[in-house]
Structure 1
């Protein structure tokens, strides 16, 4: 069935572009009026894909968003479809060294005196949530962490509804009653729901989160230091009230390294912290019994914190996209960029990451860096990352996923030019390497991979106390300790997957709303979620994704 996103046929994103983006499915032979000339499409162009507004020869440059995004490998006729068969990744990635830090800040008078209800920490940070975290220093402790999870959640009132348990139980009953297999396929299970009405023992603690991973032992000493830095970022995070850390004892990621990384991020660290080493404690039972007792006492302290008003300048917003499509750079990403600009104008902080998806826009971003030193660090990290990717037989050009390509993002440069729109137009105050902490208000760049979960994991570890996540195809990505708001690039996605989408930017495509209007709706939603008034869909689903990045492997 054909999906109609809008009645408008196409859009030119930038005056210099020599391609147009189809906003609806266009048929072969359909005639397009463009700047006084009539273009007859030689083949069908699906919504979100691009077609040429001039005849292109082999080796010609293709521009979108006003930047080079590819070169042709085959001749493309007037109105011809751009695809992986006739276009390859190409960029003009050399920065010219100029500074362009002047910007037109948006009008934020409506939000100037606005506050959110947050958890105030002794170091001046303000959390949008109040969690306790249980973390293994090495994957050998994952089982013990999971054992603690089973022990705590139900008894503390944090167990989640299990809607599918009752469905399985019903199938068992029918099977034992002798119903044939074919009949079971037609059984209505969706109406069977199993709820839990457990009351929380600690009402001011939003949850106890159990983070597991596959690192800490093998790998280089740098890998161990980096992992400890990320875990320290979660322990010192404003959304975290306290932590329990389980160590085996002999791994590369030592307790002493974790303590050093905590001190780097919080010199006056004063949160409850339980650190236990299994090889010192003795049996598993001794370790876990002690961990349970000390964690429970820590939770009593965590429950003494209450939400209080805080200015919006205390928000640190992570900017992410995933499951991107050909509309991402036209609707949801620019709307998020407008939110970034508004929050920066209010004195807040934003983080733009995913360095493989900034390939081709280095010149624009480096020119927005406030100093040459900041610009040079960005360019150095980009080059270093690309070199590492090439060393394992890949490169930034391999970043688009099959889903990206199917929905119109056929080169990394096309994807990058649209992804960068999440960063708005404000000056770039700092550039950070993973897993450094954000310390400067304003827009920051953080070196992370383009993988959704690794990137979100990193941004939260660097201090984002809330995140916005644009998607054109749909992804349930969340985080254990920070709300992740999902913004759809198109309305059919929001209708099809309402359980994961928090806000629809599709009205930008249909012409029913402007980028600024959707951005303002999003900022209102961010404030509501940060205050605990609205639950992000990912939080409601218990989408607690956590994957540390192993440098040089993931794009």
Structure 2
């Protein structure tokens, strides 16, 4: 029988409603009975016992808030009666790096089909990049996109343009506003794509941005580090870079950042400087010719069998709900543990969403220096937010709150489950690159696209992205696999969600079973045999973080 409630941790004093509960209803779990003082919608929490004003609220075994007023047993908690609170943290005298490794017997000889690079990394895709050094070159990038995309067979069916033409025809034929609004969209089944000129190149990606000049010089250095992370990325075959010439983000700065990440860099890289070349025609025609030459070289690569240890997985969440921390996040946490046990790398980011679990994460750092670095990064980040008149307590979005994540500590304690239980092998600051197998912490905002952009820049060749409310976020070069925390969302948005972990809430699957199913899915996506929905939808989100306050 499906459970109606869940007490996540033995030390918790709140209980999660798995279904809508009514005031006065009595529910049971593990031999314990609870009578509801309020209506409690699914995903929300209610008090296990009566609490006095100021008493702590505990969930996932950690402090997540304090009661603003006296609360009876069975009371629904919300922003009206609970305020954010989190435990302090400091460097512990001993590391806590012991963990129970999952059984990997089934996986140790498994492989995926990847693109092998000269530096020893292996990609799950094979892309060519066109990148501006500064926003002044965005228009030239768009001109190249217009010239190359359809001509080389990378264009997408213009199904909505066909729909707009249909409405225009109806209007020209005298249709009323009301009849046009009532027109039902039907997908054009006859739409087809041109065959690719370069079948072994998955796409040409055009990364426009608003940086490279203005701001402070550190912004330019950080941007060059991020762009270098993409150029040296295992999923990237080569790049065409457009420079104006006078911007803060100089070509030499980018070249230095590339050398930091790949001392023996050997991919084709074409750099064009507009102020040196002259006219737009000369600039764009040269870029087209050089890009075409690079694509010929990139097309010579084919997928080869590769051990799973060569995978680097980014762990992300966005549009989270009250089920995220008990279904989707722990499920990919188990996938993370499997991959770490196999010798692969995983990246846990979104530092504002590690608020309240800092002690656990710092204790899990193998090296004391990394524990200290994590503590320093977290304290500096929160102080900057407070100096700007904000704070981590303002991180939950209206959607988070509406669906049960009423304090940042509740959101964070559930978000941290994405990282599984393995030790932290290194703490990285944005935009550093992952170098070690195992669990890596990367300082990024909680903002979905900024964080995903950063994880891929750090080397993630696939991103596992959990959501309870739904989000179309993707990335230009790495597949972003979307996982729903609840079955209702999976059924509502099948065009953007790849995997349903609501099966855990429904009682049809354990966290371990879901984690293994996710890894099977990852292998197919990594091999190019199963496209992620974000790739099918052409969701190429790319937003560099300017290191300002972004939660």
Q: Distance in 2 between matches of 1:522 and 1:37?
A: 33
**2:286 aligned partner:** 290
Q: Aligned pair in 2 of structure 1 residues 152, 521: CA closer, same or farther (>3 Å)? A: same
The question of 1:94 aligning with 2:89 is answered yes
* Aligned pairs (5 A) from 1:379-390: 379-390=375-386
The question of 1:508 aligning with 2:507 is answered no
Q: Is the 8 A contact 2:2 2:507 kept in 1?
A: no
Q: How much has 1:96 moved relative to structure 2?
A: 5.1
Q: Distance in 2 between matches of 1:247 and 1:389?
A: 33
Q: How much has 1:9 moved relative to structure 2?
A: 1.5
Structure 1 stretch displaced more, 169-178 or 35-44 = 35-44
Q: Is the 8 A contact 1:215 1:227 kept in 2?
A: yes
User: Tell me, which stretches of 5 or more residues in structure 2 are unaligned?
Assistant: none
**1:254 aligned partner:** 250
CA RMSD of aligned residues (A): 1.1
Q: Distance in 1 between matches of 2:478 and 2:548?
A: 26
Q: Distance in 1 between matches of 2:296 and 2:306?
A: 24
Structure 1 stretch displaced more, 300-309 or 388-397 = 388-397
Q: Aligned pair in 2 of structure 1 residues 392, 211: CA closer, same or farther (>3 Å)? A: same
1:444 to 440, 443, 451: 440
**1:391 aligned partner:** 387
Q: Is the 8 A contact 1:449 1:455 kept in 2?
A: yes
SS of the equivalent of 1:109 reads: coil
The question of 1:46 aligning with 2:46 is answered no
The question of 1:474 aligning with 2:473 is answered no
**1:344 aligned partner:** 340
Superposition TM-score, scaled by structure 2 size: 0.98
Q: Deviations over 1:76-120 (max 9, x none)?
A: 111001000111111113135131111110001101011110000
Q: Distance in 2 between matches of 1:53 and 1:91?
A: 20
The question of 1:547 aligning with 2:543 is answered yes
Q: Is the 8 A contact 1:164 1:194 kept in 2?
A: no
Structure 1 stretch displaced more, 178-187 or 538-547 = 178-187
2:515 to 493, 511, 519: 519
Q: Distance in 2 between matches of 1:27 and 1:113?
A: 51
Detail structure 1 runs of 4+ shifted over 3 Å in the superposition.
33-39, 191-194
Q: Deviations over 1:28-48 (max 9, x none)?
A: 221234676653312210100
Q: Distance in 1 between matches of 2:34 and 2:498?
A: 39
Q: How much has 1:266 moved relative to structure 2?
A: 0.4
Q: Aligned pair in 2 of structure 1 residues 194, 282: CA closer, same or farther (>3 Å)? A: farther
Q: How much has 1:322 moved relative to structure 2?
A: 0.5
**2:354 aligned partner:** 358
**2:459 aligned partner:** 463
**2:71 aligned partner:** 76
**1:65 aligned partner:** 60
SS of the equivalent of 1:243 reads: strand
Q: Aligned pair in 2 of structure 1 residues 196, 429: CA closer, same or farther (>3 Å)? A: same
Structure 1 stretch displaced more, 265-274 or 195-204 = 195-204
User: Tell me, which stretches of 5 or more residues in structure 1 are unaligned?
Assistant: 1-5
Q: Distance in 1 between matches of 2:224 and 2:517?
A: 37
SS of the equivalent of 1:487 reads: strand
1:120 to 109, 113, 116: 116
Q: Distance in 1 between matches of 2:303 and 2:189?
A: 33
Q: Aligned pair in 2 of structure 1 residues 507, 246: CA closer, same or farther (>3 Å)? A: same
Q: Distance in 2 between matches of 1:106 and 1:39?
A: 35
Q: Distance in 2 between matches of 1:300 and 1:82?
A: 60
Q: Distance in 2 between matches of 1:38 and 1:469?
A: 35
Q: Is the 8 A contact 1:159 1:196 kept in 2?
A: no
Superposition TM-score, scaled by structure 1 size: 0.98
1:32 to 9, 13, 27: 27
Q: How much has 1:246 moved relative to structure 2?
A: 0.5
* Aligned pairs (5 A) from 1:371-450: 371-450=367-446
1:173 to 153, 165, 169: 169
Q: Aligned pair in 2 of structure 1 residues 191, 458: CA closer, same or farther (>3 Å)? A: closer
**1:8 aligned partner:** 3
Q: Is the 8 A contact 1:229 1:435 kept in 2?
A: yes
Q: Distance in 2 between matches of 1:37 and 1:12?
A: 10
Q: Is the 8 A contact 2:200 2:301 kept in 1?
A: yes
**1:3 aligned partner:** none
Q: Aligned pair in 2 of structure 1 residues 38, 466: CA closer, same or farther (>3 Å)? A: closer
SS of the equivalent of 2:494 reads: coil
**2:211 aligned partner:** 215
Q: Distance in 1 between matches of 2:91 and 2:197?
A: 59
Q: How much has 1:285 moved relative to structure 2?
A: 1.1
Q: Distance in 2 between matches of 1:18 and 1:401?
A: 24
Q: Deviations over 1:432-490 (max 9, x none)?
A: 00000100100000000000000000000000111100000011110000011011100
Q: How much has 1:313 moved relative to structure 2?
A: 0.5
Q: Is the 8 A contact 2:117 2:123 kept in 1?
A: yes
Q: Distance in 1 between matches of 2:209 and 2:133?
A: 9
Q: Distance in 2 between matches of 1:390 and 1:32?
A: 41
Q: Is the 8 A contact 1:161 1:194 kept in 2?
A: no
Q: Deviations over 1:290-332 (max 9, x none)?
A: 1111111111111111100111000000000110000000000
